[in-house]
Chains A and B, each alone.
Chain A
Amino acid sequence: GENVEQHPSTLSVQEGDSAVIKCTYSDSASNYFPWYKQELGKRPQLIIDIRSNVGEKKDQRIAVTLNKTAKHFSLHITETQPEDSAVYFCAATDNNNDMRFGAGTRLTVKP
C-alpha cells in the first residue's frame, strides 16, 4: 500500500519568510495529492491540492509542486504570517479511497 513520508516534523520561521514542507510517496498509482492544515483542536482543512497531470499549482501565498518521476511533492508558503502557524499534513491517494497521510509538520511563524 501507499506510504507517505513528510519532513520536517517541525519548522520555525520568522514572519514574512517562506516555509517549505516536503513529502514523498511510494505508490506510483497515486494521482491526487492534497495538503491539509490542522489548527490545535480543530478539524483538518484542505488548503490546496494537485493532481498528477499538473506539475505546479498556486493559490495566492500557497503553492504545491509535484515531481512524479521522483515521487515527491512540496508545499510552499510565502510571506508567512502568524496565522499560518498550525500542523500541515500531506496526503496521497489513487482515487480518494484509502488516502494516506504524512505524519505532519508543525509550523510556527514567529512575529
Chain B
Amino acid sequence: ETGVTQSPTHLIKTRGQQVTLRCSSQSGHNTVSWYQQALGQGPQFIFQYYREEENGRGNFPPRFSGLQFPNYSSELNVNALELDDSALYLCASSLDYGELFFGEGSRLTVL
C-alpha cells in the first residue's frame, strides 16, 4: 500500500503569482484534507474533500481553492500569493472520517 505523496517538495514563488500543489491519497482513501503549517506552529485546516466535494473549510480566503479527482488525488491552488503564504502545506488522506495519514508536505516560499 502506497502512502500519501505530495509534489513538489519545495518551491519558490514571488508575490502575486499562483501555485498548484498536488497530493496522491493513500490507496483506498476517499477523503483528503489540506493544512497550512507555518514555522513553529501547528497545522491550520484549509479545507477537506470527500468523494470529490468540498466538505468543510477553515478560515482561509477564497484565493485558496482545491479540487479532488475521481481517483481521490487532490490539488490545492493558491492565487495572488502573499508573503504570509510561505509555509509547509500538508495533505492528509483518510477513509471516510478515520485516522489522518499525512504526506511529507510541500514547502512554499513566497519572495
A88–chain B nearest beta-carbon distance, Å: 10
Is the Cβ of A95 less than 8 Å from the Cβ of B97? Answer: yes
- Rounded to whole Å, the gap between the CB of B77 and the closest CB of chain A is 20
Once the chains are docked, how many angstroms separate the CA of A96 from the CA of B56? 10
Is B40 engaged at the interface, CB distance under 8 Å to the other chain?
yes
Q: Considering the chains assembled together, what is the distance between the CA atoms of A104 and B37 in angstroms?
A: 11
- Please tell me which one of the listed residues B31, B100, B103, B104 contacts residue A46 in the complex, with CB atoms under 8 A apart: B100
Interface residues of A in 1-51 (CB under 8 A from B): 1, 4, 6, 34, 36, 42-46, 49
What is the CA–CA distance of A34 and B42 in the complex, to the nearest angstrom?
Answer: 13
Verify if A101 is at the interface (C-beta below 8 Å from B): yes
Interface check B62, CB cutoff 8 A: no
Of B11-19, B43-51, B66-74, the stretch lying at the interface with chain A is: B43-51
- Structural contact, A99 and B55, CB atoms closer than 8 A: no
Query: 25 A-B Cβ contacts within 8 A?
Result: A4-B42, A6-B42, A34-B99, A43-B102, A43-B105, A44-B90, A45-B102, A46-B100, A46-B101, A49-B99, A91-B42, A95-B97, A96-B97, A96-B98, A96-B100, A97-B56, A98-B57, A98-B58, A99-B33, A99-B100, A100-B45, A101-B42, A101-B44, A104-B41, A104-B42
